[in-house]
Amino acid sequence: MSASARAKEAVEELKQKNPYYEKYAEKIAKLQKTSPEEFLSRVDTLEKGKKPQKSHKDDPSRNYSELLRPKESLECPDQKAEIPNKKLEDIMKTELLEGKTVDEIRAIWLEYHKTKDVIAAVIPTEQYKLQQNRAKAHPVFVLPIPRSEGFEFIMLQFAANSVHFTPLLCYQVHKENAPECLNIVHYTEYQDKGIVLMRGEYDSQVLNAQEAQCLANQLQLYYGQYSQSKLQLLQTFTNTPESFKHMDVIAELENLKITT
């Protein structure tokens, strides 16, 4: 069977087995057409990861080890010489904020983004510092978002003052060329005043505003707050990915819904 025919067969199998295939069909089809051999190689790797493993029998369908080799174009957040921080002046006139109090800056920032298709927030500097410290040890993780079919997993990766989110299915098929569905940037120009400005741009064909906000909230819960259960999940994912169970992060999300 030719590579092209095998690739077509693999796509049919993905359609049947992965409930989120249709959402990313166009992106996957591009790789299939331009390089069927490469597409098959990545699908084969994905299928191998679905074989049952004795170390986590209750979660036999996922292998997260490959995610610990992040996109080659990104570096860990402490490598600032490699990846420069994004600047506030690139997205708005900073004169609007000059001489303003913290409360005024917060109000202007939120009002400025109210009519834009983005998510925005103002977070305490100490929370941001904790987030960045944890990101150095755990630069890659996966978070769930509720879908009608259950839960879809989104991979996140830190780079300087940005956090890049990619659908897990897209990453497994496209690797370093996987398109982002959300990019969160933290602007630190006012961290000496005790605040950091956050802005997240999302792909509306993949996420809606509520789903993007769900990811942003979980990011803060795992990286910007003191929670032993969430820290343990980060450590397990980074240090012993073969023991990581995706149902544990789903349980954390479900617990959040119950308590809010």
Tell me how far CA of residue 36 lies from CA of 2, 6, 172, 197, in angstroms: 10, 8, 15, 43
Encoding tokens for residue 77? 């957040």
pLDDT band at 52 (very low <50, low <70, confident <90, very high): very low
pLDDT digit string, tens, across residues 190-200: 999 999 999 99
pLDDT for 178 equals 83
pLDDT for 244 equals 94
In single-letter form, the type of residue at position 204 comes to: S
**For residue 64, how many C-alpha atoms fall within 13 Å in the half-sphere facing its CB?**
24
Res 143 pLDDT > 70 = yes
Whether the CA torsion 12, 13, 15, 20 is positive or negative: it is negative
- Rounded Cα gap, residues 210 and 165, in angstroms: 15
Encoding tokens for residue 139? 């630069």
Res 231 pLDDT > 80 = yes
> Could you state, in order of their start, the residue ranges of all structural domains in the chain?
3-46, 88-258
Mean pLDDT is lowest, of 1-10, 36-45, 55-64, for 55-64
Q: pLDDT averaged over the chain?
A: 81
Res 75 pLDDT > 80 = no
In single-letter form, the type of residue at position 10 comes to: A
pLDDT for 177 equals 79
pLDDT for 79 equals 43
